[in-house]
Structure formats: C-alpha cells, structure tokens
Amino acid sequence: MNVQIENSWKERLADEFEKPYFKELTDFVRQEYKTQVCYPPGGLIFNAFNLCPFDQVKVVIIGQDPYHGPGQAHGLCFSVNDGIPFPPSLQNIFKEIQADLGKEVPVSGNLTRWAEQGVLLLNATLTVRAHQAASHQRHGWEEFTDAVIRKLSQERDHLVFILWGAYAQKKGAVIDRERHLVLTSAHPSPLSAYHGFFGNKHFSLTNAYLEQYGKTPINW
C-alpha cells in the first residue's frame, strides 16, 4: 500500500502497511473522513513522522487521542495550532517545564519546534471524529503505533520514552529498558497532574540523558 509518509518511516514500516489490519484501518479512516468531520486534517495524520524522521528521533512522547475540537489537532500529541488556546494538559506541561527548567510559558502551543529537534509526538490513535473522544480507537491504529514503538526500541539506541499516565505506560511495555531511558509519571491532565505529574522533572532528566550519550539536548 502506498502510504504518504516520510521515506525513512515508509521503509521501516513497509511490512505493517501490507498487513490486513492496516487495509481495514485505511478503509475505515477513508470512510470516516468522507462522511464525518474528523481531525486532524487528512494531510496531517502522519505529521509526527513527517517532521521527525526515524534516524533523528531522540525522544518519544506517547499520547492517546488527537484533540477533537475545531482547529486544535495537527498530528502531534498534546500540541495545538498557533493561536488556539492551550488545552489543560498542555498548560500543565508548560507549567512543569517552567518549574523544572525556569523557562517562560510560550505564547504558542504548537510543538512543531519540538518535533523538528527529534521529539516524536506520537498519539496511540492518529485520528478522531469531531467532538467524540476515543471514536477511532480499536480500529487498528493501536496496532500500528505499537509497531512504531517496537521498531524504535529494537533499532535505535539511547532514546528517551516519556510515558504519562496508565494508558501510555501500558503501551510502553514493549520498550527495552536496558537500551533506553523510560520516564513515567501521572498524566498532565487536571485530574491527575497533582498526583505525580508536577515535579517529575522529565524535561531536565531527558536532556541530562541525551547529553550523557553525546546528543544535543532539546530546547523545550
């Protein structure tokens, strides 16, 4: 199947694109986009991959679903387009960066700047129906993104995987912890941020690990 995705990913994931589940997933997504309002826009479904080629990944942050409100989702987990108010989880992420690194809260919630430095902002499910959270779960996206995580774990060294909340932690079960740094904490959502997300220092810990292995730290 000819999937419009950045070439290094296309090569690594070629086997996935030929599997029956991926054909079923593609049929489902096409039908949904034809008959419903869905996010992100079709051309941005693989935005996380297109901005961050396989060999340039340094950090993987795992989210769950794209945002399902108008103009928010653009293919990067936790990120919103320029000019869109910050959702609560993103507000809390910026608060933790401020507490951890002393950086001012940015004016834009667009995290393309992270992706271009090697942060793969990977949602477990890459599409969603407008105003219906979890509406595209269990149609094959999770199998695809599990394969992405497995590939990175097996074929790269010294990556940082950031897993916030039980869902991401479960998804990270396939990661080789001998080979990579896995950081876990509560989710940054308002329901759980005060139960272990705030104070996790994941941003400074990530940079310290990258520097330890001779990699350029992320400018969060």
Catalytic residue status for 65: yes
Q: Is 85 helix (H, G, I), strand (E, B) or coil?
A: coil
Separation of alpha carbons 149 and 142, rounded Å: 11
What is the DSSP annotation of 92-124? Answer: HHHHHHHHHH-PPPPS---THHHHTTTEEEEES
- Which tokens go with 116? 């271009």
- Total number of residues shown for the chain: 220
Tell me which of 65, 82, 100, 146 is the catalytic residue.
65
Q: Where are the beta strands (DSSP E) in 42-175?
A: 59-63, 119-123, 128-129, 160-164
Separation of alpha carbons 121 and 62, rounded Å: 6
Enumerate the active-site residues.
Answer: 65
